[in-house]
Structure 1
């Protein structure tokens, strides 16, 4: 794909993007992007924004361009990290240099015009904003990151830039939900042993050695215990193939790769 720009695809519209009223602050724009409105084809059909996927790089670049245009910015002003399921968060003032993305799972900023974001395909994308302090953030929270403390690390990084926990709103975007998220009973037991209050987020599975994990409920509860206003957009990545990429759905089909959807937030200049 040598030149993805002259395509018949329209610009993204409000119908292509999930947004949350709770993050609709003056001077702040955000989007939990779906797979709709992009130029990728095949397994990646739609708005695949995953640099780490095996999709055509030009298609991924065009998809990122379209997403950032929706936010009133440009893809060159987007900072997304190399996600490794860690509990690490960093503060940034400029986009990452090509080939030098840090291996962390959350990014925060107080720099106007700089978008911060994460890509996901079942894990929880969380966008944060303190509209008074004008500090924003984005975190990738799968079960490892969420149980390991990535949400709290993101909040600490925001506070270091002048935010207050009581002033922060955190919204979880499209994520795999409990009916579709089967995990091993041993995992549930490990988490429950370390964090007894987490036991309520595991329901019986279809077999005695399986459990159904309510990852969105767990994430929102941890955010609430941290003293911030928190919510979930209520969309399941696994259940809605027309709107979302899903790592677990791809795994169940033995497909070789999968797309990723972007979630991003920006302080308007």
Structure 2
């Protein structure tokens, strides 16, 4: 449990924070700190990374303790969807062997004493809060979830718990930056067909290829939803190997595995 994690174990953990969430237990964590070694060295929290599961579980405890000591970590089984689930009085298993977590890519709650976690390795983590209503949320916005409306689903679920759209703030954490995210014409066409103005999120690259601004697109979706304020941390997971895990970087390097970082938000 997180309350058993020695304080010294969290000292080397880098916790990137958002101005809009100041004063609320939260953090966009990277790979600094933790117990994993080799290609996934650091604070790897990915159970599907091929890493030693005992180390992964310990890393998850360290991560949660770095943000909200004593809180229970709650995550979902991410599937690149637009689905959001609500954590009420019940709490599903966080066990490594028998995975009973719901398949979804966002989670909301008004329950104190827990910390919601979203895993990423280039996709955009988004943390939400309505302080007045005491409602928080976390979303995993890869390109599929982003265009599918995972942030919209999260906002709607928060409203169902009593949040007010105009009082919700949201921050987008470390993700792959536009200069690092090359896509082909078919990828671009999915977004342009959905909404022609999406063309502005694609910069010209090499022939028949483009550079996609994932963070910019997610921020635009959040603003269009009419929430109070939004913030982007502008941290590139691909280029900063010392601080962040990156699926695309690991692929380009021919590495056999890649780690996952976690973004967390809780109610004390």
TM over 0.5, shorter chain: yes
> Counterparts of 1:129-168 in structure 2 under 5 Å?
129-168=129-168
Aligned CA RMSD, in angstroms, stands at 1.8
**What's the offset of the Cα at 1:32?**
0.5
Aligned to 2:91: 95
Q: Is the 8 A contact 1:78 1:95 kept in 2?
A: no
Q: Flag as ranges the 4+ runs of structure 1 deviating above 6 A.
A: none
> Counterparts of 1:166-245 in structure 2 under 5 Å?
166-206=166-206, 208-228=207-227, 229-245=229-245
> How far apart in 2 are the matches of 1:253 and 1:70?
31
> How far apart in 2 are the matches of 1:58 and 1:249?
25
> How far apart in 1 are the matches of 2:254 and 2:265?
33
Aligned to 1:40: 36
Q: Does 1:21 align with 2:16?
A: no
> How far apart in 1 are the matches of 2:31 and 2:129?
24
Aligned to 2:114: 114
> How far apart in 1 are the matches of 2:190 and 2:215?
19
Aligned to 2:67: 71
Q: Is the 8 A contact 2:82 2:104 kept in 1?
A: yes
> How far apart in 2 are the matches of 1:190 and 1:85?
16
TM-score, with length taken from structure 2: 0.92
SS of the aligned residue for 2:45 comes to coil
Aligned to 1:262: 262
1:18-37 per-position Cα deviation (integer Å, ceiling 9, x unaligned)? 11121013xx3001011001
> How far apart in 1 are the matches of 2:216 and 2:260?
22
> How far apart in 2 are the matches of 1:107 and 1:40?
27
The answer for unaligned runs of 5 or more in structure 2 is none
**What's the offset of the Cα at 1:256?**
1.4
SS of the aligned residue for 2:220 comes to helix
The answer for unaligned runs of 5 or more in structure 1 is none
Q: Relative to 1, partners in 2 of residues 1:15 and 1:73: Cα closer, same or farther, differing over 3 Å?
A: closer
SS of the aligned residue for 2:186 comes to helix
> How far apart in 2 are the matches of 1:199 and 1:122?
21
Aligned to 1:124: 124
**What's the offset of the Cα at 1:189?**
1.3
Report the count of equivalent residues: 259
Q: Is the 8 A contact 2:81 2:104 kept in 1?
A: yes
> Counterparts of 1:5-20 in structure 2 under 5 Å?
10-13=8-11, 16-20=14-18
Q: Is the 8 A contact 2:31 2:243 kept in 1?
A: yes
Q: Is the 8 A contact 1:65 1:74 kept in 2?
A: no
Q: Is the 8 A contact 2:13 2:34 kept in 1?
A: no
